[in-house]
Structure 1
Amino acid sequence: MSAIAGRAAGLLGAALAQVRTLPGGDLSDCLLIRLADGREAVAKSGPAPRIEAAMLAAIRVSGAPAPSVLAVDDTVLVLERLSDAGAPAPAELGHAVARLHAATGARYGWPADYAFGPVPIANGGSDDWPAFWAERRLLCHAGHVPAALMRRLETLAADLGNRLPARPRPALLHGDLWGGNVLSDGTRVTGLIDPACYHGHAEVDCAMLALFGRPGPGFREAYGPPEPGAAERTALYQLWPALVHLRLFGAGYRGMVEGLLAAAGV
C-alpha cells in the first residue's frame, strides 16, 4: 500500500507526509494520503485505473456527483477527497441517480471491459438488451458457479426476451450502486464512487440499491415512478450482483442466488 501512496504522491508532484487506510477495500486498496504541502487526496488501486477514471468523468458530465480525477496511470487512480459524514437524504439520492440515468448512450455496454477483482465484466456493445443481459450478465458465469445453479440460469436466459424490454433507453448506469458507494455530507450526495459503468436499463441500478438495503421512501418520489412491470424484473437484475458476490466471497451467497432464481420462477 505504501507503494500506491508513493506513486500517487509522485503523480501529484509532492512528497508524501501521511497515509491512512480508508474503509472498504475488498477489491482494491484505498488510501487517504496527505502531502507535504498540505494537500489531501484519495489513492486507490484497481483492475483498470484509466477505465475507472473515464467512468467517473462520465458520471460528472451527467451532472451527478463524483470525485474529480487528480491524476491517473496504469497502476493508481488519484481522486479528490469528498466529505463522507453519513447517509444522504433519500430524496437527494433520488435526484442524483435521476441525473445519472438521464445521460443516454448509443448502445448497451461500454467502450471497454472491466472487472470486479478477479470477476471479469464483459461490456461489448449490443443493440439487444435481453441478449446483452443474458450473455454478459448471466451466462458468463458458466464454469464458475455450481452446475445446478447454472442450469437454472440457462433456463432463465433463454426466456429473457419475454421478460425484459427489447430496447429500453440506454441510460448511464453506475453499475455497482449500493450504499457503500454513495458518499454524503449527511444531507446531500457528495459523490458516487467505485463505478462499474455501462449503458443499460435504468432499473438495473435501482434493483441493486434495493439488494442490500433500501434508500427510503423519498428516493422514489425524487427519482420518479417505476416503469410498468419493474417489480417483476427486480430479481432478474439483482441476480448479476448476487452471482458476483457468490464468485467473490463464496457459498454464503448461494442462498441469495437461489432465492432470486425462485423469485424469477425458475
Structure 2
Amino acid sequence: MSRLAARAAALLGATLARAEPIHGGDLSEVIRIVLADGRRAIVKGGPAPPVEATMLRAIAAAGTPAPAVLAVDDHVLVLEEIAGTSGPGQAWADLGAALARLHTTAGPRYGWPDDSAFGPVAIPNGWCDDWPTFWGERRLRTHLPHLPATLARRIETLAADLPNRLPARPRPALLHGDLWGGNVMAAGRRVTGLIDPACYHGDGEVDLAMLALFDRPPPAFLDAYGALPPGHAERRAVYSLWPALVHLRLFGGGYRGMVEGFLAAAGV
C-alpha cells in the first residue's frame, strides 16, 4: 500500500485495511482508504496540502458544501468521503444557489494569503487593490515567459487594456478558482461538495466563465445564481483566457486554438 495511504492512516490514529486509487488525480495522487475500524476517507498528495485545507474550510464556512478536512500535514490531505458522483448532473439549480452563497463572502482585497499551483504551473495570488491589476499581473502576464512570442504580444496587448475592460473594484468574492464540472460532486438534485479548489478573492464572473469552458450550464443554473451585471458577455472571453492558458501550458499545443479563440473573441 502507498506511503500516502499509510501516512493518512497514521494521522487518523488508525490501522490501514486497504487503499485504492480513484479517478481524478491528474495533477496529484488521489486514493480512497478504508481503515480497520471501518472508517473511509479520501487522501490527496500535492505540493501544498495545508493551503488546500484552508481553501476547503473557507468554502464550507461560506455555507457552500465541501468535504470536511479530517487531517492534514505538509505532505497529505485527508478528507471525508462525500456522497454523490462527479458532475452537476441534475443539480445545476442547486449549484447556482451554492455558488451564489460562496460569492457573497467577500475578502479585503483581490488575491489570497498563499500562492497555489496546478501541477507545475504556479498560481500567484499576491494581494492587489484593484481588479484589472490583479488579473493582468497574476493571471495573464505571469504566463508570458512560457508562450510563443506572437501569442505573448497579444496577451500583453490585452493585459495593458484591462482597465478599459474590467470593473476596477467589483466585490472581491470568494472564488472556487477551478470550477469545472469534474470538481462538483452531486447526488440527485443536490450538490454534495465542491472539491479541488484553487481559491482567491475576485470577480464572481470568473467562476462562471470557467464553468462554461467545458460545460453548458442550463438556464436553471443562472436563474438560481441571479442576474449578472451589464457587460458580462464581453468579459467572459477575458476571464476564460486564463484557464485556457493553464491548459496550454499543462497539456500542450492542442489548446493553442482555444487560447487564440478567446483572444479573437476579445478583439485582440
TM-score by length of 1: 0.98
Offset from partner CA, 1:40-81 (integer Å, 9 cap, x none): 000001121000000000000000000000000000000000
Report the CA distance between 1:214 and its aligned residue. Answer: 1.5
Find the aligned partners of 1:88 and 1:16 in 2 and give their Cα distance.
Answer: 35
* Residue of structure 2 in register with 1:12 after alignment: 12
Find the aligned partners of 2:121 and 2:256 in 1 and give their Cα distance.
Answer: 16
Query: 1:47·1:116 contact (CA, 8 Å) conserved in 2?
Result: no
Find the aligned partners of 1:237 and 1:197 in 2 and give their Cα distance.
Answer: 15
Residue-pair matches, total? 266
* Residue of structure 2 in register with 1:22 after alignment: 22
Return 5+ residue gaps in structure 1 as ranges: none
* Residue of structure 2 in register with 1:146 after alignment: 148
Report the CA distance between 1:22 and its aligned residue. Answer: 1.2
Percent identical across equivalent pairs?
Answer: 68
Offset from partner CA, 1:159-203 (integer Å, 9 cap, x none): 000000000000000000000000011220000000000000000
* Residue of structure 1 in register with 2:139 after alignment: 137
Query: 1:85·1:186 contact (CA, 8 Å) conserved in 2?
Result: no
* Residue of structure 2 in register with 1:201 after alignment: 203
Amino acid paired to 2:211: L
- Aligned residue for 2:213, secondary structure, equals coil
Amino acid paired to 1:189: V
* Residue of structure 2 in register with 1:162 after alignment: 164
Find the aligned partners of 2:117 and 2:111 in 1 and give their Cα distance.
Answer: 14
Choose the corresponding residue for 2:96, options 94, 97, 101.
Answer: 94
Find the aligned partners of 1:183 and 1:263 in 2 and give their Cα distance.
Answer: 31
Report the CA distance between 1:88 and its aligned residue. Answer: 4.1
Choose the corresponding residue for 1:260, options 259, 262, 265.
Answer: 262
Amino acid paired to 2:19: V
Amino acid paired to 2:218: G
* Residue of structure 2 in register with 1:2 after alignment: 2
Find the aligned partners of 1:212 and 1:149 in 2 and give their Cα distance.
Answer: 22
* Residue of structure 1 in register with 2:106 after alignment: 104
Find the aligned partners of 1:195 and 1:88 in 2 and give their Cα distance.
Answer: 22
Offset from partner CA, 1:97-117 (integer Å, 9 cap, x none): 011101000000000111111
TM-score by length of 2: 0.98
* Residue of structure 1 in register with 2:125 after alignment: 123
Query: 2:91·2:187 contact (CA, 8 Å) conserved in 1?
Result: no
